[in-house]
Amino acid sequence: MRGRVVLVHKADHALIFVPDAVLALTIKKRPTHPSVFKIFLDTVGLSVLPEIQRFACHILFELRAVHGFGGKAWNRQKGGAKGKREHLFHGAETNQPRGRVQTPLAKVFRNSPSVAHARLCWGVQAAIQVVFKLVGLRHLCKFAATREQRATHMALDERKGVWKSARGKGRKTPKGRQYSDEALADVQALLGDRPRRRDLLIEFLHLIQDAHGHLSAAHLRALAEEMRLSMAEVYEVATFYAHFDVVKEGETPPPALTIRVCDSLSCELAGAQALQQALEEGLDPAEVRVVRAPCMGRCDTAPVLELGHNHIDHATPEKVQAAIAAGDTHVRIPDYQDLKAYLETGGYSALTDLRANGNWEDVQDKVLSSGLRGLGGAGFPSGRKWGFVRANPGPRYLAVNGDEGEPGTFKDRFYLERVPHLFLEGMLIAAWAVEADTCFVYMRDEYPAVLEILRREIASLEAAGLVAPGYIDLRRGAGAYICGEESAMIESIEGKRGIPRHRPPYVAQVGIFDRPTLVHNVETLHWITRVVREGPECLSSIEKNGRKGLRSYSVSGRVANPGVYLLPAGSTITDIIDAAGGMAAGHSFKAYQPGGPSSGILPASMQDIPLDFDTLQPHGSFIGSAAVVVLSDKDSARDAALNMLRFFEDESCGQCTPCRVGCEKAVKLMQAEHWNQPLLEELCTAMADASICGLGQAAPNPIRLTMKHFPDEV
């Protein structure tokens, strides 16, 4: 090389001439071995930088002999000076395609006088790799003759005219954000020795959000660099979930303290809107941020808000002010049955026996005979899923859907905050039945106490030797109701946006990492433990109104004692209200939501219908997750329906147009003084027929049932 000029041409296909070696190099985008460049670098005394090493793996430089350099070969032109540059190294023939050199690489090495010469050729190739990294293509540069000069190459951003086009002034760096060393070091410290797997992206975003209170553009770019992902991929995931605060360059980060006020139907009935307005007026926005939030799963203590990670039940402005003054912003862990107490009651004995000499088909038959159906809302026979998953070759996985984001539902939180090991043992029994390699527990971020309880008890299970370390993989949601849909949950477990998949194929065949996956709800696994330990009679022996089994009803709204009530599956709304202590003082029963917003609103006149699977479908509704919200004569069915559609509008993933646009248009039409019922019905039909998943398909139910049963209000 010795201080000679290196010519570089075209970003996708370039030629470099080295006078002393009488050689030219063709640059192509192709992998090569990282050790190639080290021969040259060791010779000239340059250090092997990691940046150069990573870069060398992506570009291949083919070494070619140059014939006819000088004279006509050098001066041959097609179209003036530009043609001179484009046809510098065509060789002796005149009619060769541009960017080609006649003599192949093999000929150079066949004609090499010695091994040293061949190494020199490879060294020259490696030198060009260094040139490409430091100064970029399309640039004329010079190498210094001494080692000292070669060891002090300037960084890319410090060179003027780098990435220069044929005319005009070029940019110094490639397009897009450039990561900083400080942000990269910060991200690396947060991630520690965790594996840089793609599916852990959401977990890593949580680490940054928890540490800094937001996600800066610099940290997102550094995370993308650390995980070898594109910035666009990281950004689209971060902006999809509500609990990530993305802050771009020049934007002001949110305050250190955030208050999330729940605006679900139960909280709205309890005065959430007035509470949020009072907080916005009474607190300094520079110190405290007040935002609305969807259901937090604490409808029995409405109105509810989250101060940092501390949930304040029956919230008032005075309670909030006192908590802020005391710095009470951390999660509170309720009393619960830990592993030691659970083992004393015979816990995990059923699991141990099954692992020793159990037959999974016998357990499946027992679960089927109990009548247990999926309690997340779908109502599919629980045991039958096991056979579907086992019919596919392994590896297999189990996924727990703990993202109960349906407004009015809080039964899963109720059980997990009290008896978490009933759920964990049921999960391990189901995992044993399908021979699952890993159990993924996807828990919503709105349950910080549950997340902490599960972390503790999973660690206890590992310490006790009941599960291998890492067998239970706890994943933390990030505020997306759509992830309650099983395929969207699987996408989120894989570190992606929670967007539902088209089916078929179903998750029993193609689930997590495209492997067969068994998906169960938390309460379903809770009952699997009881069925295995107590026998199927614990469910099948209970009958009411022709329905068998038990249901956990989450009851809120205008009742005296909101909460979770375990009642026979054939119970009516009258039975449920009686179990909750009757109507609240001063309220008369008017209407009810039988199974979350998707089930719509039914009038008090339909109070004799058993609230169970398959009993409400003839009336245009369904039981779903048994999220019962009771309305009184002081409430408006029209306003309740609008609250439900606003929730769907906010929580739509945006993948399909009928749902995304339909919810938005429905909200606007429902805000009118009088509803345009023919137009709304047409809109409902389009949404129900053309939406991909259950959110868009069921979103019209509140509209249709309100128009049908409460025509005087619309």
Nearest 5°: the CA angle 406, 372, 298 is 25
- What is the pLDDT confidence band of residue 137, given thresholds at 50, 70 and 90? very low
Q: What is the pLDDT of residue 72?
A: 37
Contact 592, 374 (CB under 8 A): no
pLDDT score recorded for residue 156: 41
pLDDT at 323: 95
Angle between helices 201-212 and 217-227 (to 10 degrees): 150
Mean pLDDT of 176-183: 90
For residues 22 and 66, is the Cβ–Cβ distance under 8 A? yes
One-letter amino acid of 651: E
Taken as a whole, the chain contains a residue count of 714
Percent pLDDT > 90 in the chain is 71
pLDDT for 604-640, tens place per residue?
Answer: 999 999 999 889 999 999 998 899 999 999 999 999 9
**pLDDT reported for residue 219:** 97
- Integer Cα distance of 510 and 306 in angstroms: 37
On the question of pLDDT at 84 being above 90, the answer is no
Residues 249 and 393: their CA atoms lie apart, in Å, by 49
Average pLDDT, the chain: 82
The continuous run of DSSP H or E covering 65 comes out as strand 60-65
pLDDT of 66 reads 37
Q: Is the pLDDT of residue 554 over 50?
A: yes
How far, CA to CA in Å, does 633 sit from each of 526, 588, 590?
A: 37, 6, 5
- pLDDT the model gives residue 175: 73
* pLDDT for position 177: 85
Alpha carbons within 13 A on the beta-carbon side of 489: 26
Rounded to an integer, the average pLDDT of 211-218 is 95
Is residue 168 very low, low, confident or very high in pLDDT (cuts 50, 70, 90)?
low
Based on C-alpha coordinates, what's the Rg of the chain? 33
Burial (CB < 10 A; 0-12, 13-18, 19+), residue 47, is exposed
Give the residue, 5 or 645, on which the prediction is more confident: 645
Residue 138: predicted pLDDT: 35
pTM of the entire predicted model? 0.77
Strand, coil or helix: 398: strand
Alpha carbon 655 to its chain's center: 15
Of all residues in the chain, the percent with pLDDT exceeding 70 is 76
Residue 81 has pLDDT above 60, yes or no: no
pLDDT in tens, 325-359: 999 999 999 999 999 999 999 999 999 999 999 99
User: CB-based contacts of 195: which residues, under 8 Å, 6+ apart?
Assistant: none
pLDDT at 94: 36
Question: Euclidean distance between the first and final Cα of the chain, in Å?
Answer: 84
Q: Given a cut of 80, is residue 214 above it in pLDDT?
A: yes
Residue 376: band (very low, low, confident or very high) from pLDDT cuts 50, 70, 90: confident
Q: What is the mean pLDDT of residues 237-255?
A: 95
**Is the pLDDT at 13 greater than 60, yes or no?**
no
Number of Cβ atoms within 10 Å of the Cβ of 436: 24
Phi, psi angles (nearest 5°) of residue 658: -55, -40
Q: How far apart are CA 403 and CA 420, in angstroms?
A: 16
pLDDT band with cut points at 50, 70 and 90 for residue 167: low
- DSSP structural state of residue 177: P
How far is residue 644 CA from its own chain's centroid? 24
Torsion-angle region of 392 (φ positive above 0: left; ψ -120 to 50: alpha; else: beta): beta
> Using CA atoms, how far apart are residues 8 and 25, in angstroms rounded to an integer?
9
Is pLDDT of 252 > 50?
yes
Q: How far apart are CA 675 and CA 590, in angstroms?
A: 21
pLDDT for 378 equals 73
Residue 12 pLDDT > 60, yes or no?
no
Taking each helix axis from N to C end, the angle separating 360-370 and 382-390, rounded to the nearest 10 degrees, works out to 150
Q: What are phi and psi of 685, to 5 degrees?
A: -65, -45
Determine the pLDDT at residue 120. Answer: 55
Kindly state the DSSP code that residue 583 receives in the 8-state scheme.
B
Q: Give pLDDT tens digits for 261-314.
A: 999 999 999 999 999 999 999 999 999 999 999 999 999 999 999 999 999 999
Strands 246-247 and 215-216: parallel
Beta-carbon contacts of residue 113 (< 8 Å; ≥ 6 apart): none
Burial (CB < 10 A; 0-12, 13-18, 19+), residue 12, is: exposed
Q: Tally the C-alpha atoms within 13 A of residue 415's C-alpha that lie toward its C-beta.
A: 21
Between 110 and 677, the higher pLDDT residue: 677
Average pLDDT over residues 21-30: 45
User: Residue 606: CB partners within 8 Å, gap ≥ 6?
Assistant: 619
Q: 119-123, 173-177, 430-434, 513-517: lowest mean pLDDT where?
A: 119-123
Q: Cα angle vertex 162, ends 160, 163, to 5°? A: 150
User: What is the average pLDDT across 132-144?
Assistant: 40
